[in-house]
Amino acid sequence: MTTEERFHGDVPIRTAEEAAELVPEDAVVATSGFGSVGYPKAVPEAIAAAGERRGLTILTGGSVGEEIDTALVESGDLVRRFPYLGTPAVREAANDGRVAFHDRHVSQLGDEVRFGGAVDGVDVAIVEAVAVGEDWFIPSPSIGATVSYVAAADELIVEVNRKQPLDLERLHDIYLPGAPPDREPIPLSEPGGRIGDPKVRFDPDDLVAVVETDRRDSTYDFREPTEVDLAIGANFGEWLEAEAETNPTMTESIRLQFGVGAMGNALMRALGDLDVDRELVYFGEVIQDGLLDLIDEGTLRTASATTLALTRDGQDQLFSSMDSYADSVVLRPVCVSNAPELIGRFGVVAVNSALEVDIYGHANSTHVNGTRVLNGVGGSGDFNRAGLVTVVALPSTAAGGDISRIVPMAPHVDHTEQDIDIVVTEHGVADLRGLGASERADAIVEVADPSFRSDLDAYRERAAEYGGHIPHDLETALEWPLERQQG
């Protein structure tokens, strides 16, 4: 690639160190990045190396790599983080109080930043691109909240990364909804449609630095599916086949979303074994390796998301065969990919995981024992609330079978009983639709691990003595998992 292909017009080219000097103390800094890809690398590292402990608030679209979520923590520059924790270093800092973490549904944060509420303005946006002009840039492998952040920022720094192929331009569909109260409906009539263009536009007076980089992302490294994962996938696939036969919205196609991670990849693999004569379409927030395989097989027609959350092999697969994927893969801003308006319009079946689900159908996806945050709610709430059918898929146990992930009462609730329709474990499927509280408990206990079912039934008997619509023995509800862990 020549410099001319990446840089267009008169742009202020600077070193990473020169660009870092433009970030003041106590600044609100918004960066690109989602699914551990597409985030700036050189400038955050230069900020950390300067040793100035600037007291920064960092907003990203989702998870990013160590250049932000480790280097800036270790240097003491990062003091407040929105809306996701991407590395062990920033997770530890959030749990011990060194970093103030604000968890949000990712579809909403862009509007909160643009129109006030989350922060009092954005001082600097630092983004990664594959090409830049005087008033535009083309994002790299993720879009996330970048468009909203750039619109809100006083100044803009662009890292142009030569390791990211220019062909990524063919995937991007940039559209930013207008401002309330005159916001019009998002004009997307089908999941694979395009309503924008590949470029993010900005005021040329905002561009203060362009930095050239040449570094790959810190990509995902998904573990191989276990026998439990495959059993969950098989149960999910069996349920989906039956649902497709009775659900009138699935006569011609099935629209799906999967959460990021090894479980999501395992569930995607199950789609290849489905015995249905309907078109499969993906409308979600992350594109993982499993979706590329389904496109290759002809099982999946369209994959629309906001990021390419791929392994290194998955990136190589996509980048080396862009012609094969350009018509099938679309990347959008997260305010579009996760818009409840569109999730409902297309009738998306939302499939996400959780740390634990309680016997009445409340799900905890973020906090171990209700206290220690792992990552953040991400986009699961966007899809669980607005989806046509909401599925939570999880193994029935953790810690080698010593801890039940079906619990009497969730110690932290990210998704309420009203947002969960189906619970799938390796032991079966609990369909909660239309059930009363005690009936939900019956169904969920049936998909718990057999070694914990008698304990769960015993808890229900104790709780029944207190009565009520959702009976609980509050004195012992939160001690129950601790008692089991302690033997």
Quick one: pLDDT at residue 396? 97
Q: Determine the straight-line distance between the first and last CA of the chain, rounded to whole angstroms.
A: 61
- In this structure, is residue 218 part of a structural domain? no
Residues 93 and 123 in one domain: yes
Domain limit, last residue, from 213, 241, 263: 213
Sequential DSSP letters for 423-456: EEETTEEEE-TT--HHHHHHHHHTTS-HHHHHHH
Residues 152 and 198 in one domain: yes
Cβ-based neighbours of 227, under 8 Å, separated by 6 or more: none
What b/e string do you get for 278-301 counting C-beta neighbours within 10 Å, with b at 16 or more?
eebbbbbbbbbbbbbbbbeeebbb
- In this structure, is residue 410 part of a structural domain? yes
pLDDT tens per residue across span 116-148: 888 989 999 999 999 999 999 999 999 999 999
Reading the block at residue 216, the tokens are: 């790959």
Quick one: pLDDT at residue 259? 86
* 380, 374 Cβ separation under 8 angstroms: no
Residues 231 and 209 in one domain: no
> Which amino acid would we find at residue 163?
K
285 has catalytic annotation: yes
Reading the block at residue 257, the tokens are: 């979303």
If phi > 0 it is left, if psi is from -120 to 50 it is alpha, else beta; for residue 51 that is left
- In this structure, is residue 425 part of a structural domain? yes
Cα within 13 Å of Cα(59), Cβ side: 30
Residues 354 and 477 in one domain: yes
Quick one: pLDDT at residue 330? 98
Of 60, 113, 110, which is closest to residue 90 (Cα–Cα)?
Answer: 60
- In this structure, is residue 219 part of a structural domain? no
Residues 169 and 270 in one domain: no
pLDDT tens per residue across span 196-213: 999 999 999 999 999 999
Domain limit, last residue, from 189, 213, 237: 213
Residues 232 and 196 in one domain: no
Beta bridge partners of 365: none
pLDDT at 187 > cutoff 90: yes
Cis-peptide, bond into residue 88, ω within 30° of zero:
no
Reading the block at residue 88, the tokens are: 């062990």
pLDDT tens per residue across span 21-50: 999 999 999 999 999 999 999 999 999 999
Helix or strand or coil: residue 351?
strand
Of 286, 212, 211, 217, which is closest to residue 66 (Cα–Cα)?
Answer: 217
Please give the torsion angle defined by the CA atoms of residues 300, 301, 305 and 309, in that order, rounded to the nearest 10 degrees: 40
Residues 242 and 181 in one domain: no
Percent of the chain residues past pLDDT 70, beyond the cut = 98
pLDDT at 355 > cutoff 80: yes
User: Looking at residue 324, which CATH number applies to its domain?
Assistant: 3.40.1080.10
Catalytic residue among 45, 128, 285, 356: 285
- In this structure, is residue 204 part of a structural domain? yes
SS3 letters across 45-83: HHHHHHCCCCCEEEECCCCCCHHHHCHHHHCCCEEEEEC
Sequential DSSP letters for 204-273: GGGEEEEEEE------B-PPPP-HHHHHHHHHHHHHHHHHHHH-GGGSSEEEEEE-SSHHHHHHHHHHTT
pLDDT at 487 > cutoff 50: no
pLDDT tens per residue across span 279-305: 999 999 999 988 998 999 998 999 999
Task: Specify the DSSP element, H or E, that contains 353.
Answer: none
* 337, 304 Cβ separation under 8 angstroms: yes
Cα 252–Cα 258–Cα 261 angle in degrees, nearest 5: 155
Residues 209 and 276 in one domain: no
Domain limit, last residue, from 179, 213, 247: 213
Quick one: pLDDT at residue 1? 42
Residues 305 and 340 in one domain: yes
Residues 130 and 158 in one domain: yes
- In this structure, is residue 220 part of a structural domain? no
**Overall pTM > 0.85:** yes
Residues 195 and 291 in one domain: no
State which residues form the domain around 333: 227-485
- In this structure, is residue 222 part of a structural domain? no
Tokens 């996938």 found at:
233
Q: What is the pLDDT averaged over residues 403-408?
A: 96
- In this structure, is residue 87 part of a structural domain? yes
Q: 1-5, 86-90, 97-101, 462-466 — which is least confidently predicted?
A: 1-5
Residues 349 and 407 in one domain: yes
Of 58, 70, 50, which is closest to residue 26 (Cα–Cα)?
Answer: 58
* 69, 98 Cβ separation under 8 angstroms: no
Domain count, the chain: 2
Sequential DSSP letters for 260-286: SSHHHHHHHHHHTT----SEEEEESSE
pLDDT at 484 > cutoff 50: no
If phi > 0 it is left, if psi is from -120 to 50 it is alpha, else beta; for residue 89 that is alpha
**Cα–Cα distance list, 194 to 117, 140, 146, 186 (Å):** 31, 18, 18, 11
Task: Specify the DSSP element, H or E, that contains 311.
Answer: none
